[in-house]
């Protein structure tokens, strides 16, 4: 055990002596001390810059998460009838196979009327369901009908 301790002291003394010779050398010691001080200052400066950048990144992420949490649910909006009709049209006629020229959309006090002829019952049900999901629609009155069937009348 004492041999290890003696070896450690010897190595430590050798390292300390070498450092002393390097830093207190009359010709190059001043330059080496200055360079060591500059490198240490740069290390601390870079570390501070990195910490500042990381802090800004964390702050930005927290702000973004707060904004997402704040806007999780869209606030209900009151649309006028014309705007609501255009909104419904843009939703239900989005698909390429939607019967754009065969269905009319009218809105009165938030109640949407769908009029026209559609090729099959699935499309009829799909148009009514998509209309119900549009924000601002209070009710849907479907006056849609299939080919060969009479058009339902408005009550």
Report the alpha-carbon distance of residue 28 to residue 22 in Å, rounded: 8
Report the alpha-carbon distance of residue 85 to residue 134 in Å, rounded: 10
Domain 81-145 sits in CATH at 3.30.1340.30
Condensed to tens digits (0 to 9), the pLDDT of residues 96-152 reads 888 888 999 999 999 999 999 999 999 999 999 999 999 999 999 999 999 988 888
Condensed to tens digits (0 to 9), the pLDDT of residues 58-90 reads 999 999 999 888 887 766 677 899 999 999 999
Q: What is the per-residue pLDDT for 155? A: 58
Report the alpha-carbon distance of residue 34 to residue 25 in Å, rounded: 13
> What does DSSP assign to residue 12?
H
Coil/strand/helix, residue 27? coil
Owner of token pair 């559609």 = 118
Q: What is the per-residue pLDDT for 41? A: 87
Q: What is the per-residue pLDDT for 112? A: 95
Annotate 42-104 with three-state secondary structure: HHHHHHHHHHHHHHHHHHHHHHHHHHHHHCCCCCCCCCCHHHHHHHHHHHHCCCCCCCCCCEE
Owner of token pair 């299939």 = 146
Chain-centroid distance of CA 82 in Å reads 32
pTM over 0.75: no
The H or E element that residue 141 is part of is strand 139-145
């Amino acid at each position: 055990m004492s041999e290890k301790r003696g070896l450690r002291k010897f190595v430590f003394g050798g390292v300390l002596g070498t450092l002393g010779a390097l830093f207190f050398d009359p010709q190059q010691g001043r330059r080496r001390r200055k360079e060591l001080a500059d490198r240490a200052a740069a290390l601390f400066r870079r570390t501070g810059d990195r910490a500042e950048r990381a802090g800004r990144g964390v702050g930005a992420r927290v702000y973004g998460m707060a904004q997402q949490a704040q806007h999780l649910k869209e606030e209900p909006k009151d649309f006028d009838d014309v705007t609501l009709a255009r909104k419904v049209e843009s939703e239900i006629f989005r698909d390429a196979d939607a019967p754009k020229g065969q269905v009319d959309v009218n809105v009165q006090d938030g109640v949407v009327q769908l009029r026209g002829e559609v090729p099959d019952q699935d499309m009829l049900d799909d148009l009514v369901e998509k209309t119900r999901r549009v924000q601002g629609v209070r009710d849907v009155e479907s006056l849609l009908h299939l080919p060969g069937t009479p058009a339902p009348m408005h009550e």
